[in-house]
Chains A and B, each alone.
Chain A
Amino acid sequence: MAFRSFDPSDPRLSRRSLLRIGGLALGGLAVGTLAACTTAPAAPSATAAKPAAAGTASTSSTSGGFDWQRFKGQSITVLNVQNSRTDLLNKYQSEFEDLTGIKVNADVLPEQQQRQKQLIEFSSGNPSFDITTLSWHVLKGVSAKGKWFMDLRDWLKDPTMTAPDYDYADFSQAAITYATQKDGSVDTLPLQIDYWILYWNKELFQKKNIAFPNTLDEVLKAAEALHDPSNRVYGFVGRGLKNANVPVWTAFLQGWDVDPIDKSNQLHTNGEEAVAAAKVYQQLLGKYAPPGVTGFNWNESQTTFSQGGAAMWFDGIGFAAPLEDASKSRVKGKVGYGLQPGGPKGRFAATFGDGIGIVRASKKQGPAYLYAQWATNKKNQARMLAAGAASPARQSSYSDPEAKANMQVPQEWVDTLIASGKIGRPGLPDIEPVTEFRDTFGIALTNMIGGADPKSELDKATSDFKPVLDKSLQG
């Protein structure tokens, strides 16, 4: 991997060159910053993976040519998102530190802030962290273009670097596809796959003798029948907030067997199917959702559903734990967990996910790789399942006896999760400007809740977004 250096004869400056010029100018003024500003990123493996001095390995941590303690005494910085998965990793962090002798500094930020920190620090060329979790559905394209992470294919094949029981093939096909970039490189290890499901209040459904809705048409009918605003019970709740709301629409669109942007980067965002899916969204959120839903993200939706204020809620699968916690939920024991409803052309489960990647510019790639293996090993994935914190990317987790014995969420949730895995389909397009895609179409969807015409809104959003997509494809 060669990093582009500043070339005065090259009229096209890279962002890194610009930052380097800025850094040098500042460095000339501020004594002592020169070294930091001119530090070149480390080569990915040559020095980082150099084994530690002989004699540091402990017998219990050694297997074949692999040694968990080969980087003993080093320290790494991990940048993570504040969520229940990170809570689990932090809870068992000492287990990793004892196993490897590596000290872990965990930097945990809320989701949006973590993504911004990644963007800013990776753009600088010299991030302050060695390893970080990545939202594939948001930053996979950007990370590939910016070459944020090292390609792990060589190390995955290297028995001295990868633990013999790591078993990469155990990850589901959906997870491996997500972790693989378009050029075939594997620059993250799968952490979790998030399927969207339909949460439904069984008590409310039973009172009106209504069965679980398997199709979008049935969802509309059930929402209408259960909508009772005078008693503060609404037929449906979901994301209306700009940006956050787009996965609801793209998931519905899967029912027409259509992705908003296909593999040849053609937009299908204002065709007949896109408009039909948008009309379903408009009816559910505009007619049967609580007032003010245009400002609802998942947290407001969760509040409404968990307090018994909505008959159905469509969102990611990771909310079973709070819904089954009596201290936070009034619907504990009454929640049904169902597959994403199908449309006229099929039934899928909108899929999102996170991986964990090792910073290409890090000088501690070896220790960071050990952390990545530990964080995604079978034990931690099973723990994630048992806690209901997320759906693990490993297939073995679902048959893990320890996970089954410690399960804190209903079996129905696990069954839905497994069933979703068989019909999973990426919920957002694999493009670089995915945030702009979400904002542009999110505004259109929010306007629809207020009564705007779906076709006109989607036409406008499509014409606004097309130049952005075209520009991103030009590189």
Chain B
Amino acid sequence: MAVQATHSYRVSRGTYLWFVVPALAATFAIIIFPWLFTLYVSVQDWDAAGPAGFVGLDNYTRLIFDERFLLSVVRTVYYSVLTVVAPLVLGTIAAVLLHREFRFRGLVRGIFLLPMMATPVAIALVWVMMFHPQFGVLNYLLERVGLPASLWVYAPETVIPALAMVETWQWTPFTMLIVLGGLASLPKDPYESATIDGANAWQTFRHITLPLVMPFIMVAAVLRAIDAFKAFDTIYPITQGGPGTASETINIYLYLQAFSYTHIGSSSAVVVVFFAMILVLAYVMMWLRQRSVWE
């Protein structure tokens, strides 16, 4: 009887394994094979209109001395820091405010979420018009309140903060949504104790709300950081990496190498390096998130 059961188990297990094959095949086809192919192409000297040839690690070593690539890494970090920190701070503040009970709270929350629902490229094109130094509405508003006009995305000094402003506007609701979810799940006991102990609003927020909601903020930070690091759909439609190369992040550099200059081999090397950087970033962010979990 026991032998029969084992035999039956073996048969059904083997049968079940076949059900995994489509998923494995799909994973291989859309994830593993493209990666192996990218690795293979990254060691080729291959332009779209010409033959390929093996060049070893030349495409990688060239990146180390490519000033334009190195500067794109610096800009990516700068842009990422701005577009992670600002939405996190503003999103947390918005979440705390919108967590309170007040009339039309649902409506206000809905309105607040609208930027996140918009198509990034369409939004980017609207911002292009708003940024225009002579005819844009932003400078008009600045001048109405007595402030000097800005060049926004039309000057190397201000282009990245201006782009970060667009990204912040669009993705603050996203962090707010995550933090709002965290706030809704917090226990009430610590707040009752704090009230009995006479803690004021700031103390309650600083010593109870913030530590308790930190794991949620870190989740938002991880998602935002990865998203910000590989940002493209905000930057390219607005500046194409300009003025000059002032907003050329790794993704824009990669795009130009691959699709404008058709250097398929060297751009694949950039992809591999970029992927490694994303992995490291994700690992660091996950480690930070683990540290923020309640003990």
Contacts and interface: CB of A to CB of B under 8 A. Distances in A.
A122 B49 CA distance: 9
Nearest to A143: B49
B51 A292 contact: no
Contacts of B49: 15, 123, 142, 145-146, 432
A119 B244 contact: no
A292 B136 CA distance: 12
Contacts of B50: 15, 145, 475
Interface of A: 11-15, 18, 22, 25-26, 29-30, 116, 119-120, 122-123, 142, 145-146, 232, 240-243, 290-296, 300, 303-304, 307, 309, 432-433, 435-436, 439, 442-443, 446-447, 450, 475
A294 B154 contact: yes
B132 A300 contact: yes
B interface residue count range (under 10 / 10 to 19 / 20 to 34 / 35 or more): 35 or more
A433 B242 contact: no
A292 B48 contact: no
A447 B244 CA distance: 7
A382 B143 CA distance: 48
Given A292-B152, A295-B243, 13 more contacts: A14-B51, A15-B50, A26-B29, A26-B33, A29-B25, A29-B33, A30-B29, A116-B260, A145-B50, A242-B245, A292-B151, A294-B243, A303-B135
A301 to B, nearest CB: 11
Interface in B118-167: 132-135, 149, 151-156, 159
B241 interface: yes
Contacts of A122: 48
Contacts of A30: 25, 29
Interface in B244-263: 244-245, 256, 259-262
Nearest to B261: A436
Contact of B133 (A26, A142, A292): A292
Nearest to B247: A295
Contacts, number: 124
Contacts of A243: 240
Contacts of B262: 119, 123, 142
Given A119-B259, A241-B243, A443-B244, A290 B52 contact: no
Contacts of A119: 48, 259, 262
Contacts of B29: 26, 29-30
Contact of A446 (B153, B242, B261): B242
A18 B152 contact: no
B250 to A, nearest CB: 16
Contact of B52 (A12, A309, A439, A446): A12
A407 B136 CA distance: 34
A16 to B, nearest CB: 9
A130 to B, nearest CB: 20
B3 to A, nearest CB: 38
Contact of A25 (B33, B133, B134, B244): B33
Contacts of A293: 154
B180 interface: no
Given A290-B134, A296-B154, A303-B132, A15 B48 contact: yes
Nearest to A309: B134
Nearest to A123: B48
Contact of A22 (B37, B48, B239, B241): B37
B28 interface: yes
A4 B114 CA distance: 53
B254 to A, nearest CB: 13
Contacts of A450: 156, 244
Nearest to B238: A295
B53 interface: yes
Nearest to B40: A18
B222 interface: no
Nearest to B257: A436
A146 B133 contact: no
B235 interface: no
B244 A242 contact: yes
B41 interface: yes
B264 interface: yes
A243 B248 CA distance: 13
Looking at A145, A295, A435, A436, which has the most chain B CB atoms within 10 Å of its CB?
A295
A30 B28 CA distance: 10
A359 to B, nearest CB: 15
B216 interface: no
B134 A304 contact: yes
Nearest to A310: B134
Contacts of A18: 41, 44, 46, 52
A13 B242 contact: no
Q: Nearest 5 CB-CB pairs, A to B?
A: A292-B154, A295-B154, A294-B243, A292-B133, A146-B49
A293 to B, nearest CB: 7
Interface string B207-228: 0000000000000000000000
A293 B239 CA distance: 12
Contacts of A446: 242-244
B241 A433 contact: no
11 contacts: A15-B47, A22-B37, A29-B33, A142-B262, A241-B240, A241-B242, A291-B134, A291-B155, A292-B132, A295-B242, A439-B260
Nearest to A475: B50
Contacts of A29: 25, 28-29, 33
Contacts of B53: 11-13
Given A22-B37, A145-B50, A292-B154, A240 B132 contact: no
B139 to A, nearest CB: 10
Contact of B259 (A15, A120, A241, A295): A120
B31 to A, nearest CB: 12
A145 B49 CA distance: 6
Nearest to A147: B49
